Amino acid sequence: MKPQNLTDVSEFLLLGLSDDPKLQPLLFRLFLSMYLVTMLGNLLIILAVSSDSHLHTPMYFFLSNLSLADISISTTTIPKMLVNLQTYRKSITYTCCLAQVTFFSFFACLESLLLSVMAYDRLVAICYPLQYLVIMNPCTCGLLVLVSFSISLLTSQMHYLMMSQLTFCADVEIPHFFCDLSQLLNLACSDTSINNILIHFIGTIFGGVPLSGILYSYSQIISSILRVTSSGGKHKAFSTCVSHLSVVCLFYGTGIGVYLSSTVSSSPRKGAVASIMYTVVTPMLNPFMYSLRNKDIKSALWRIICKQPNLNTCATLFWVHRLERQ
């Protein structure tokens, strides 16, 4: 069969998570709820950090950028899936599919780099506390975020260029709920050996290097904490890293788990179900991991709510807040 050029392919078909029509309304309500929780939780963190002067510190500056990346990852994939579930359609245009691949690779790489930057921030805060404000000055923090954005943009453009060079045959069915790069490579009629090499190279560089930096940072942090004599000091130092460490484990753990499951399992549909963890669940849980364990975030949200005119709500939340702190 003569392959088609990508520009001649008008649309792809996203097979989604299930072919059962009875499950479509249930899946729609489930993912809509998860998307709304993701948006609300991450927007609240951004609002708290931007509006409260007590949170104008490097750690919360990076946290607000991480929340922005979480919102963007979910928005790249979930709305189109919700539209397909609601309309009982599976099609996605060539332009939207290419855009999904580009934006998803951009924000996934950005989240990975931001997590490594946050690990470096915790390393400086715990190992070099007296030099923290000098090292992590506003110029350095802005530069680190700018470099993360630039590297992520470079990565996404490399994926875009690779995908734009592919040719496809008549089979344009993607066994996924969004345009996954690996699934698109499986549909290509042209030789994808170079593409596969580049994908593994990019994944190793822009995924492995940040993870290695995180592991090195925490090895130094743990070594520094163990040298602290008082148990109270150890607990205080480690408590500042618990939320970030939980997010790191969730993000990289689910990503590695999906990769391993895709290599072991021959069912692409199972891989699509597993990928829900890092595309939907992880962005939804990140705000809870930071807000529920972080008194500064809860206090900032409390101050924002108390500025509202509804005094009954404010009084109720005041007593709840007092009980939580006891």
| 278 inside domain | yes
What pLDDT sits at residue 1? 40
| 206 inside domain | yes
CB 71 within 8 A of CB 137: no
| 310 inside domain | no
Pairwise CA distance, residues 102 & 96, whole Å: 10
Note down the domain range covering 96: 4-293
| In the chain, % of residues over pLDDT 70 | 83
pLDDT in tens, 37-58: 999 989 989 988 888 788 888 9
What pLDDT sits at residue 3? 41
The secondary element (H helix, E strand) that includes residue 302 is helix 295-306
Number of domains in the chain: 1
Give the amino acid at 95.
T
Give residue 9's pLDDT band: very low, low, confident or very high (50, 70, 90).
Answer: low
| 140 inside domain | yes
Q: Tally DSSP H helices, then E strands, for the chain.
A: 14, 5
Pairwise CA distance, residues 252 & 119, whole Å: 14
Mean pLDDT over the full length of the chain = 81
Q: Compare 8 and 187 and report the one with higher pLDDT.
A: 187
Pairwise CA distance, residues 271 & 98, whole Å: 20
E strands in the chain: 4-5, 11-14, 91-93, 167-168, 173-174
Give helix 209-226 / helix 231-264 axis angle, nearest 10°: 150
Q: What are the structure tokens assigned to 170, written together?
A: 């008549």
Pairwise CA distance, residues 110 & 114, whole Å: 6
Pairwise CA distance, residues 261 & 275, whole Å: 10
CB 35 within 8 A of CB 81: no
What pLDDT sits at residue 288? 84
| 193 inside domain | yes
| 202 inside domain | yes
How much is the pTM? 0.85
pLDDT in tens, 184-225: 888 878 777 787 788 878 777 877 888 889 999 989 888 888
Give residue 326's pLDDT band: very low, low, confident or very high (50, 70, 90).
Answer: very low
| 309 inside domain | no
Tokens 């990975």 belong to residue: 112
Q: Where are the alpha helices (DSSP H) in 128-208?
A: 132-135, 138-164, 181-187, 193-203
pLDDT in tens, 82-102: 988 888 788 888 888 889 999
Pairwise CA distance, residues 233 & 226, whole Å: 10
| 197 inside domain | yes
Task: Report which of 158, 176, 195, 159 is spatially closest to residue 90, judged by C-alpha positions.
Answer: 176
Contacting residues for 251 by C-beta, under 8 A, at least 6 apart = 111, 112, 115, 278, 282
SS3 110: helix
Give residue 7's pLDDT band: very low, low, confident or very high (50, 70, 90).
Answer: very low
pLDDT in tens, 107-164: 999 999 999 999 999 999 888 888 998 999 999 999 999 999 999 999 898 888 888 8
Q: Compare 182 and 142 and report the one with higher pLDDT.
A: 142
- Section 223-240 average pLDDT: 74
Tell whether the model's pLDDT for residue 63 goes beyond 60.
yes
CA distances from 41 to 44, 289, 316 (A): 5, 10, 21
The CATH code of the domain that includes 91 is: 1.20.1070.10
What pLDDT sits at residue 268? 62
CB 121 within 8 A of CB 240: no
